[in-house]
């Protein structure tokens, strides 16, 4: 029995997130079916995290165990012949027995993209959040920095997947601009349901003057979801980087 890690990417617009669901097509289900077609047996994929409906991944790792002897270098091409155009396996790596895509992941980075222009851009539909009012990226960046550290992030999570604790550590949270495109990047040891989208909405509320960046620590301390900003749409969110002890999985 081999343990295989798949490095993949996907456009999540047409899917109800990563996790298999009873009602709705998901990334995991689609990829499992493709893997089953080439191995001839049921496949159970473990993903590095649950991305929600409409969320994308430029970097993603999923692992599964198999008796198939297909060489790892041939697995990506074989699987990709059975996946739609919006899901692609970039590479397959044989990993130790103890490896688990989610349990072995040390930290993740999500990027939220905002198209900040007076005129909408059809090419960013479901790829970035259209925000027509000019935003001050320096103020946004100050607000984003207020989330860095180990905190209880209950104020910026929506009720969803049960979790033992709402405490997480954010290592960095920064906003940058390139022309009309703003990016909010958050790196943390783990994320709560809709956490990045709620952080982004809170940072935007600060930019709108509904509170100041200096108010954010008190908002977090309150633990009240209603004290923070809204949950922005999913189309602007991407999983963009992963960290593992196995350096082969980090690019």
Going residue by residue through the chain, which has 251 residues, state the pLDDT in tens, using 9 for 90 and above.
999 999 999 999 999 999 988 889 999 999 999 999 999 999 999 999 989 999 999 999 999 999 999 999 999 999 999 999 999 999 999 999 999 999 999 999 999 999 999 999 999 999 999 999 999 999 999 999 999 999 999 999 987 767 889 999 999 999 999 999 999 999 999 999 999 999 999 999 999 999 999 999 999 999 999 999 999 999 999 999 999 999 999 98
Q: Is 86 a catalytic residue?
A: no
Catalytic residue of the set 52, 85, 152, 174 = 52
Tell me the HSE value of 188 on the side-chain side, using a 13 A CA sphere: 27
Residue extents of the structural domains in the chain: 2-104, 107-241
Contact present, 58 and 9 (Cβ < 8 Å): yes
Report the helix count and the strand count for the chain, using DSSP H and E.
Answer: 5, 10
Cβ contacts of residue 98 below 8 Å, gap of 6+? Answer: 104
CA distance 126 to 234: 8
Architecture of domain 2-104: 2-Layer Sandwich (3.30)
Check for a shared fold between 2-104 and 107-241.
Answer: yes
As a dihedral over the C-alpha atoms of residue 207, residue 209, residue 211, residue 212, rounded to 10 degrees, the angle is: 60
Q: How many CA atoms lie within 13 A of 244 on its CB side?
A: 24
Range 107-241: architecture per CATH? 2-Layer Sandwich (3.30)
């Amino acid at each position: 029995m081999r343990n295989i890690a798949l490095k993949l990417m996907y456009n999540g617009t047409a899917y109800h997130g990563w996790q298999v669901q009873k009602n709705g097509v998901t990334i995991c289900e689609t990829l499992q079916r493709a893997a089953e077609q080439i191995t001839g047996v049921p496949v159970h994929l473990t993903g590095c995290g649950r991305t929600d409906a409409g969320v994308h991944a430029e970097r993603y790792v999923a692992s599964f165990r198999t008796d198939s002897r297909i060489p790892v270098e041939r697995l990506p091409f074989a699987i990709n012949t059975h996946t739609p155009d919006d899901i692609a396996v970039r590479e397959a790596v044989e990993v130790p027995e103890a490896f688990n895509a989610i349990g072995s992941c040390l930290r993740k980075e999500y990027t939220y993209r905002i198209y900040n222009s007076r005129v909408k851009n059809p090419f960013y539909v479901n790829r970035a959040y259209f925000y027509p009012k000019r935003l001050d990226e320096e103020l946004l960046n100050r607000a984003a920095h207020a989330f860095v550290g180990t905190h209880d992030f209950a104020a910026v999570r929506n009720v969803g997947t049960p979790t033992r604790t709402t405490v997480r550590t954010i290592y960095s949270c920064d906003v940058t601009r390139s022309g009309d495109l703003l990016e909010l990047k958050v790196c943390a040891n783990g994320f709560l349901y809709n956490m990045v989208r709620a952080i982004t909405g809170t940072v935007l509320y600060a930019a709108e003057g509904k509170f100041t960046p200096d108010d954010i620590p008190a908002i977090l301390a309150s633990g009240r979801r209603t004290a923070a900003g809204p949950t922005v749409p999913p189309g602007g969110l991407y999983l963009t980087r992963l960290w593992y002890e196995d350096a082969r999985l980090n690019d």
